[in-house]
Structure formats: C-alpha cells, structure tokens
Amino acid sequence: MKLAVLSDIHGNLPALEAVLADARAQSVDAFLNLGDIVSGPLWPAETAHRLMPLGWPTLAGNHERQLLTQAPETMSATDRHTHGELRAEHRVWLASLPATLRWRDDLLMCHGTPTSDLHYLMETVTPGHVRGGSPGVRAATRDELLQRLGDAMRGVPQALVLCGHTHVPRCERLADGRMLVNPGSVGLPAYDDAHPHPHVIETGSPHARYAVLTRQPEGWGLKLRKVAYDHEAAARQAERHGRVDWADALRTGRVGRLEAEATRSSSR
C-alpha cells in the first residue's frame, strides 16, 4: 500500500492541485489529510469544494475548530476572511471531521499532538533567539516526543504517527520502532507565531510539500515530496486580499524578518 499524506493546505488550491497530480504520478492508493484545510486569504471555499467529494480520511485542525467555535470579531484576520467565504455546506463538512483518527489499525493521525491541535509534536519552541536574532524552534528531543505522545499511545499498536501543524517536513523513529512523520505544508511554506513564545517557521522555498508512505515487509518507507507550482498566482491572490505577509511567504518560503519581529502574532 502506498499513501499520500497531506497537511496544512490553508486554502491554497493551486498547490493542492499540483500535489494531487504529483501523488497520482507516484501511483498512490489512498490520500490522508491532517487538517488546517481552508483557512487563508486564498481560495478557502474552492478548496473545500474540491476536497469534499473525494471522501478522504480527513482531520479537523486548529483552524477548523476556530472557524466553527469562535465569533468572527474574535478571530484572527486569516480565519475572519475564511469565515466570510465559506458556505453552509462547507461548515457542515468541517464540523463532521474528527480531531484524531486511527486508520487501518497501525496508523494514528493527529494535527498537533494526539491530545491537542495547538501543541507542536515534533518541534519545540525556544524562548531565546537563533539564526541572526530571529525567534526559532528546534527539533524535539526523544524524551519530549514520548511525553507529548503520552497516554494516548500506551498499549496502542500504532507503528506510524502522522502529525501536521508546524509545516516542517520531518521524520523521527523511536527506540520501540514507531515512526513519526510530519509531511510539511501543502499551502504555506512559512509563518510566524507568538505562542508559546514568538517564533518563526520557514522552509526556505515556495514549494508545496507532502509525504508518500509505502508499506514494506520491514515497515513503512517514506519519501518527503517537494512540488513546484504556480506560487506567484497564490501570492497575487494573497495580495488581492490585503495579505502582503502571506504573499512574501508564498514567494520565498521565508517570513519578513522586520515584520515578524514587529507583529509577534500568527500570520496563519
């Protein structure tokens, strides 16, 4: 079996279409979606409309939860824009999505960690500064990974844990043989956030990212895929909706340093 694992599409329809084409060229058997599907100043309704008929195993990320539970006046600018674009049928679909999902016995899907859609699983935010004075993150230690997996994984035979949320493509193997995979973000290659400390996530290129997993006799094999697409079209769409920060991230895979230091708030 060969799986395509997608996460953090963020309403970026051209990136999604490019990933779909690339995955089909890899002859995948199934698609899994780890959430944060539509929220963004791009094509939220069109992205929902594209995905709904496909019937993939799909999670709600933190942005789906926020769109359904927060009042528009308390939302971030990104979610507020998305809220105004979605139709009733899109909200019904989002409300039907689970926060976590156990799939085919040996695979656990979560957006952040198994118990939180906001906490990072495979990255740790540092209160200090790295790389030229920019707020940063580091890879989580093995002890941190085990602590965040916690009781949700005790006595569970999952050989594979899939997570998203940080937009960072990464794979870790635990001492007991379990593999943790973040496929990266299909639709947003960089952002800044203020929680739990100000930090910046950057992949350094505008590519759409996802993962292909292949079940093999010795376990799961992994390829982290990086796909070119018309990111300029996505950047122009962000600009049309007044989001220069998104446009910069979509073009470069980086966050404007001065802007990130000045705002100390999430660009997502």
CB 137 within 8 A of CB 125: yes
**Counts of helices then strands in the chain (DSSP H, E):** 9, 13
The pLDDT of 115-125, averaged and rounded, is 95
Residue 147 confidence (pLDDT): 92
CA dist 10 and 187 (Å) reads 5
Dihedral sign from CA coordinates of 26, 31, 35, 39: positive
Say if residue 265's pLDDT is above 70. no
- Both tokens of 124, joined, read 């740790």
Tens of pLDDT, residues 16-59: 999 999 999 999 999 999 999 999 999 999 999 999 999 999 99
What pLDDT, on the 0 to 100 scale, is given for residue 129? 55
Rg, the chain, Cα only: 17
pTM (two decimals): 0.93
pLDDT at residue 260 tops 60: no
Backbone angles phi, psi at 101, to 5 degrees: -155, 130
Helices of type H across the chain: 13-25, 44-51, 62-69, 77-85, 88-95, 142-149, 231-240, 244-252, 257-263
- Summarize pLDDT for 207-251 with one digit per residue, the tens: 999 999 999 888 899 999 999 999 999 999 999 999 999 999 999
Average pLDDT over the chain, rounded to an integer: 91
